[in-house]
Structure 1
């Protein structure tokens, strides 16, 4: 019995020392170890990146983030700072350092093009315009909570946004007027005779913007002599998310946006509600009166509701329904000929867009069938005692589009065929003088296009040839053939790309130019001919780890340009007055000398020359076209802050054909600082404070149209996932 007791005591002692042997190292181990964690998001959309690959630099161990982009790693404290390398398909690799004491971080990844033979993927969605990747530049709304559409697209070196006498914005693309630039929404044309279409799209709806500079009628048809701007909207996602954005700024400028991703059964829904109100009664220098005065009747109240719903019937069959309703009321501040502001002039706008798209994917074949309906109404009224300035007019237009698109990929070759129909009708009502109204006018267009990408090798170099052809047949009118050919050296491992392209385009006269009745002083011209162009472009692009650049040079010859002019009898009338040449160059360069520092430069120079030999204005500059644009932006991003400084210069422009009236160029500076923080596992906060035109530059985008001086903007965005 004693032996058993003694043996048990010895066993307990051994167990005790064994326990100490096991526990003490564990305690020591726990004492010198800790945990770091974080979440990986898309820098452009704030959407979680599922299953991103995370490599621990010191141990070469690899882990994967979960479906919501979250990860956690146990580390030894003496390993701080702690380095990881993150990669995910469709995004740039990122080297990230957890400094000593940092235990959690939200890590954004920037999207990066994926080059697959015959396919180019940029941003979160495929480009929908052309197979020639070198012809498209993609813009991402990286700080969309701080921008309007116009403020985003002017970052492109070839785009300038100007304001007209009605207080409405218009786009110039590499010197080409807005009527020569096709605006598209998800690949369908937006150009509308009744109103400015792009302003109705909420910036929060934009996934990315595709820009083609130069002749593009083979891709977009009518009105693409200067190029195409395609607004590609976000796709609904499966996970629930909700964004709330509130913005305020100078001159009683307030806006709010609510966006929700919601899945019901097999239907994914993206819903967006937007509202904006501003007085915009800024002070400007009036050179006619040589004093500072306040701009009045420049207010705006606008709002929209939009949705996008995707129903996946099967793996290879899906349907997407899109809806947009936009309504606005604004003041009309004045005329272009003088600084006369009207306190009673008002404009009203209403826009409705409906689109249904069905996609069928069968192996390497895909079919898209799209139906679209647009309705736009705008009304302009000025109630004033002076009958010369009194008006009450209304524009109405309805557009119906039907499109079938077929994409085919065989190995490294790909092709795209389209067949479509477009119906436009337009009516103008003059409520004061009904005899000056324009009765219902209709334009029907049937078109077919084909584009292919053919790769081959030449002297051990990969080269692609991308020919495209489109024929448009207008009912009761001529047929127009548009073509384009691109030869490019695709971007390979050395990140170098070179392309040469050329083509022709056309632009039909606007309804108002054809049929405007006006009065004895202003008349339309039903005998106008379409404007036509022929030109070419070459571009080069190179990318390295810390530096990237892209440069291009272009030439475009335009015949039968339409301009309004005053005859010897004092009557304003449009005519095919001018032949012209527009040539120039543009480029961008970005340098990232450090992980948190980025410097970008951009610029363009155009030479728009009148080439009408019989004109007194031969070899003079065309009017209303700024001759150059240069910009610089410096960004410093010590997480969680991002500080930016930008400097933008717009060159002079001439206001008449004889080049005797000059609108001076100008330079503006903007600064901003943003802050990002994760409040909880499902809630993130973005905040922004910025100052535009910090040096209070006084300038005009068009003659006698004053631009705002120094102004402030603040925004707050909550993201719930």
Structure 2
């Protein structure tokens, strides 16, 4: 069971959800009837929409729907669309036949796979909202958490369900970005290049390999495609010396298309903080030496030939980041910086032969950086090293659908080369190469039974490395019921693994930290169950998760190594989560959302769960509330979040860091001037100017204001 939680907050959340559900059920009109052709025969599968709700007609053409709205809109391939005035009770609609004329076309969009993970959720990216970072987008999903400094250019990673950031596998167009044991820095991705984000929670190594203990974040970039030519330019200005300039364009011809994006930003990121009471310092301190600069370039090329699609995509980011230390050691790290570049390249080949979908991919990534802390006033931890990680791979995937059967197999090979050159002590430099292969299989059934749909899948994967051969698996079940109240319930159970990073294994670059070449890979197993309800204009989801991680790697300070930090496989950890999520379209112009995550994560290596110490830096309670008002061409939103207290020592003896809450406000508008569209956006961050810390002696910024404009030609 979960540990004792804040019952008052839970009772209020449940009460609010119940009140919302009851209120919603009392609103709207109920319409039922038949969708018929000109001969009076029922039409199956017609799409029916009333207000914000939609449904489809059954085999005999019957339908029923309940929602608020003035008109009932009906459409079906092969028939002319029709809109009729909505009224309560029986309403039959007759559609006129409209023959389909098929011109010669070429494929210009990536094919969808025949089936996907049963629990895959799409992040609800609002097309009317401007996103300042990729973490802004991920923040729309429940169960996600980022505890990094919320300023442009700062390192940003994400936790899923209380798991460590390095236990979240990130896939960009199917390519793993952090399977080598490190957390991924989302600040390197331009949100304007992202088309969609899907999340698979709980053990999911079968979908990408190492690091998926907490789940997978699957990012799909904007693909080059044959659409209308478009040119965009934007400028953003904000607090702490922030300025951002971007340009993008896309277009193409009959069979060839392209997309190009350029961007650059600068941010000083210097902000004030409250000194500790015992410092006897009257004025606020300043966290300076914190500037960030980044230039980005993205290019996408595509070509289509009948049922063959080719795409080539490349992204390049150059960055320079000043890295101040904790506020109790500012002079130890003053003038420290990190600079480098990241380059990602992918060539995709796709073909669909009706019964078989074939996808091939070649990719090559490079990450190179230089860290320098040799000019600090207090040269206590002098360090200078340059590291480069090159990865290249090939992947082939086959999807087959036959009746109710679904099948997928994927084979991949990856070559890695890691070079860490120590400029101060060259003998401590590191050079490692690694070959890795994998093969995965997934099969199952997807069966429709009237208003019901049952999907069950079994997946397995085997990864081959020079050190370990690791297996992972997953069982999935989802049952859906379509109707006035759409219901989905199901569950998964799986196993996953994570490799120790090159840093964990081999680091010996300074007196603060020593690597451990004897580290073992982390393994895990766990599952989840969920219930999803969608009715009228509301959506509710409840999920329960459990995950047990063995041989978990943590850095510990040990006196026998000269008071240095060293990574160890500490033993066994268990995480239990209760996830709540709800949304309500209260009006056509008003949307309300709420989510909560209750996490109990403990080190159960030596004690039973109830007596075991809680994991460090894992808040027990997280919840958020959001309201969005859209009217005409205006969109105003407010977002409130709360993060609970968290412990800072393995034994939980030291006092935990207090929880904190934040309020953000935003406004967007859009209007056309001749053939040009002008978009304006404003964001007020940390409106209440809260002073808080996530980690000891690392303060977070106060109130900030950002404003931007975008012109679309």
- TM-score, reference length from structure 1: 0.80
Does residue 1:600 correspond to 2:588, yes or no? no
Name the CA distance, whole Å, in 1 between partners of 2:590 and 2:347.
43
Residues 165-180 of structure 1 aligned to structure 2 (within 5 Å): 168-180=155-167
**Aligned match of 1:710:** 703
Query: May I ask how many residue pairs the two structures share in their alignment?
Result: 612
Shift of the alpha carbon at 1:187? 1.2
Larger mean Cα displacement after TM superposition, 405-414 or 305-314 = 405-414
Shift of the alpha carbon at 1:220? 1.2
Equivalent residue for 2:335, pick from 334, 338, 344: 344
Residues 182-331 of structure 1 aligned to structure 2 (within 5 Å): 182-191=169-178, 196-238=184-226, 239-287=228-276, 289=279, 291-314=283-306, 316-331=307-322
Does residue 1:487 correspond to 2:477, yes or no? yes
Match of 1:512, SS state, is helix
1:130–1:219 CA contact under 8 A, matched in 2? no
Does residue 1:627 correspond to 2:620, yes or no? yes
Shift of the alpha carbon at 1:401? 1.5
1:145–1:717 CA contact under 8 A, matched in 2? no
Match of 2:270, SS state, is coil
Match of 1:387, SS state, is coil
Does residue 1:670 correspond to 2:658, yes or no? no
2:149–2:700 CA contact under 8 A, matched in 1? no
Post-superposition Cα deviations, 1:482-507, rounded to whole Å, max 9, x if no partner, equal: 00001110353442111111100011
Residues 443-522 of structure 1 aligned to structure 2 (within 5 Å): 443-456=434-447, 461-475=452-466, 477-490=467-480, 492-493=482-483, 494-519=485-510, 521-522=512-513
Name the CA distance, whole Å, in 1 between partners of 2:522 and 2:596.
28
Match of 1:298, SS state, is coil
Name the CA distance, whole Å, in 1 between partners of 2:137 and 2:128.
9
Shift of the alpha carbon at 1:390? 2.1
Shift of the alpha carbon at 1:171? 1.9
2:597–2:622 CA contact under 8 A, matched in 1? yes
Name the CA distance, whole Å, in 1 between partners of 2:192 and 2:701.
24
1:502–1:535 CA contact under 8 A, matched in 2? yes
Equivalent residue for 1:691, pick from 684, 689, 712: 684
Aligned pair in 2 of structure 1 residues 696, 55: CA closer, same or farther (>3 Å)? closer
Name the CA distance, whole Å, in 2 between partners of 1:551 and 1:336.
41
Aligned pair in 2 of structure 1 residues 473, 163: CA closer, same or farther (>3 Å)? same
Name the CA distance, whole Å, in 1 between partners of 2:582 and 2:168.
25
Aligned pair in 2 of structure 1 residues 335, 138: CA closer, same or farther (>3 Å)? same
Match of 1:255, SS state, is strand
1:679–1:685 CA contact under 8 A, matched in 2? yes
1:583–1:607 CA contact under 8 A, matched in 2? yes
**Aligned match of 1:61:** none
Aligned pair in 2 of structure 1 residues 264, 460: CA closer, same or farther (>3 Å)? closer
Name the CA distance, whole Å, in 2 between partners of 1:390 and 1:664.
33
Name the CA distance, whole Å, in 2 between partners of 1:311 and 1:317.
8
Shift of the alpha carbon at 1:568? 3.6
2:386–2:421 CA contact under 8 A, matched in 1? yes
1:247–1:715 CA contact under 8 A, matched in 2? yes
The CA RMSD measured in Å over matched residues stands at: 3.1
Is there any run of 5+ residues in structure 1 with no aligned partner, and where? 1-52, 58-81, 98-123
Aligned pair in 2 of structure 1 residues 88, 341: CA closer, same or farther (>3 Å)? farther
Shift of the alpha carbon at 1:389? 2.8
Residues 41-56 of structure 1 aligned to structure 2 (within 5 Å): none
**Aligned match of 1:613:** 606
Match of 1:468, SS state, is strand
Q: Which structure is larger by alpha-carbon Rg, 1 or 2? A: 1
**Aligned match of 1:106:** none
**Aligned match of 1:637:** 630
Shift of the alpha carbon at 1:94? 14
Name the CA distance, whole Å, in 1 between partners of 2:405 and 2:556.
50
**Aligned match of 2:133:** 148
Aligned pair in 2 of structure 1 residues 251, 504: CA closer, same or farther (>3 Å)? same
Aligned pair in 2 of structure 1 residues 129, 283: CA closer, same or farther (>3 Å)? farther
Shift of the alpha carbon at 1:88? 8.1
Match of 1:131, SS state, is coil
1:208–1:231 CA contact under 8 A, matched in 2? yes
Match of 1:151, SS state, is helix
Larger mean Cα displacement after TM superposition, 452-461 or 317-326 = 452-461
Name the CA distance, whole Å, in 2 between partners of 1:404 and 1:484.
21
Shift of the alpha carbon at 1:413? 2.7
